Amino acid sequence: DGRLTFNPGNQTVDLPFINFMKRHGTVFLNAYTNSPICCPSRAAMWSGLFTHLTESWNNFKGLDPDYVTWMDLMERHGYHTQKYGKLDYTSGHHSVSNRVEAWTRDVDFLLRQEGRPMVNLTGDRKHVRVMEADWRNTDKAVNWIKEEAINLTEPFVLYLGLNLPHPYPSPYAGENFGSSTFLTSPYWLEKVTYEAIKIPKWSSLSEMHPVDYYSSYTKNCTGEFTEQEVRNIRAFYYAMCAETDAMLGEIISALRDTGLLRRTVVVFTADHGELAMEHRQFYKMSMYEGSSHVPLLVMGPGVKEQQQIPNVVSLVDIYPTMLDIARVPVPQNLSGYSLIPLLRGKAENDLSPRGPRPSWVLSEFHGCNVNSSTYMLRTGRWKYIAYSDGRSVLPQLFDLSADPDELTNVAMKFPAVVHSLDKTLHSVVNYPKVSSSVQEYNKKQFISWKQSLGQNYSNVIANLRWHQDWLKEPKKYEDAIDKWL
C-alpha cells in the first residue's frame, strides 16, 4: 500500500529503509498501479502500455514470452542485466481456478472464492526470515552485487521481485483455496504500533455498491468480524511490510558496502496494494486506495533528495524512465511518460518530445473477484470509477481531498464532473467496447476449457477454489453457467 511510504506509515510501522530512500531521494505521493492484480500490473510495468493495449485481462493472460521489455532494450544497448525472484508478467501462470473464476464473473451466482482472512503467528522473537523464498532471492541479489556487479566494466540493471507483502495460502480451507492468511513472526510484529492502527469504517452490506458487494462476498468478507480481528489483520500486514523493508535494506547495504550506491539509481515500487479489511475486503482487485495506490521511491545520481512529488504517476512510467536513465531512445507508442524531469526537480514544462504529461492516470481491471470490467481515472482531487458499458452499473466518484477514506460516492451530486471525467476516460479508452471484448474473450476461453475436459468437467469445476459453496448445490451452479453460455 503506497500510502505507507508517507502517511500514516510512520505511525503504524517502522520502515527504516523506505525512510532512508525518502531522505536521500524522491517519494511519489500519488503513484498508481495500471491494474490492481499481479500479472496485468506487471505486464503494464514491463511494457509501458495500458492493460487494454496489452490485453492482459487476468492473472493468466499477460504478455507474450518474447515481448521486448525495457530491460531487453537496455541489454541491447550495452547493459548487463540480471533478474531474481517474482517476474509474473507473461501469460500462462497461476491456477486453473484463477482463470475460471475470471472467465465466469458474468455468471449469475455468488460463490466464495477465498478462505476467510485470518492471521497466523509463527516462530519466536528470533525468527527473522519468515518468507524464506524472498530471502533466498534477496541473498542471490546481494551476492551478485558483491561478486559480479562490482567487477563489471559495463553498466548493470538488477531486478529483484518479492512476493511479500502478500497473504499466504490458507491450508485450513483446502488445497484449491487462495491466499488469505496474514503470517508473520513476533520479531516483525513488535515493529508495529497497535494503538496507531486505524480501524476502517464499513458501509452496511445493503448500502454497498453492487460490484463491491460481489467482491466482498467472493473474498469471504461478508460475515461478522470483531474489531480485534480487523486490527490483527492490519497489524500482521504492516509486519509483513516491515519484513519487505528489511530486504530492501539488504540491497541498499550491499550497494553501500561495495561503493556502488552513490552511482546507482534505486527504484522501489509494487504491483498493487492490499486492502487489509478496508471497505470490508482484503486482497487487491479494487480501485480503492489501499489496493490501487502503490509505493514509488527513487534515489541515486541526479535524483533530487527529500523531494515529495504530488503529481499522479503510474507503473507504465517505469518503462520510459528506465530507458531515459540509460540514454536509450524511448519508443513513441508508450502509454507512460518518463519521470526524469520530475525526479530532477524540473518544472513540468521541461518536457519530453511527446509533450506534457497528462494530468490523470488510468487503472483498469478485468479479472477475478470483480463481476464487471472496471476503469479508474485519477486526476486532481477526483477519483472516477466507471464499470462495464458505463450504463448498466452506476459509476462512483470520490473527492479524495474531502473524503480520503472513499466512503461517500458523490457521482449524483456532481454530474458535471462525472460527465467531464467520463469524456476524458472515453478519449483514452473506448471502455464499453473493451468491456464487451473481455466478455467475449471470457466466454470463448471458458467454452474451450470446458470442451477440453470432456466427461471430467463436472468434477473439475466443482473442486476449484469455490468448492465449499459449489458442492452444496452443484446442479444449480452448473445450470447458471449453461444459462450464461
What grid cell was written down for 85? 525472484
CA distance 117 to 276: 9
Please state whether 418 falls in left (phi above 0), alpha (psi between -120 and 50) or beta: alpha
Residue 192 phi, psi (nearest 5): -100, 135
Active site residues: 38
What nine digits make up the cell of 5?
511510504
Question: How would you classify residue 302: left for phi > 0, otherwise alpha for psi between -120 and 50, otherwise beta?
Answer: left
Cell of residue 89, nine digits: 508478467
**DSSP type of residue 418:** H
Q: How far apart are CA 173 and CA 465, in angstroms?
A: 9
Helix axes 431-453, 96-103, angle to 10 degrees: 130
Q: Quick one: which of 385, 398, 475, 391 has its CA closest to 436?
A: 391
- Whether residue 174 contacts residue 111, with contact meaning beta carbons closer than 8 Å, is answered with no
C-alpha cell of residue 352: 519530453
The x, y and z cell numbers of residue 449, run together, are 476449457
In this structure, the chain runs to a length of 485
- 226 residue type, one letter: T
Q: How far apart are the C-alpha atoms of 238 and 234, rounded to whole Å?
A: 6
134 contacts: CB under 8 Å, gap ≥ 6: 85, 162, 163, 164, 244, 247
Half-sphere exposure (Cβ direction) of 329: Cα atoms closer than 13 Å: 3
Torsion of CA 461, 466, 471, 475, to 10 degrees: -60
DSSP bridge partners of 82: 158
d(CA 320, CA 354): 12
Q: Around 363, how many Cα atoms within 13 Å sit in the side-chain half-sphere?
A: 33
Residue 116 is given by DSSP the state P
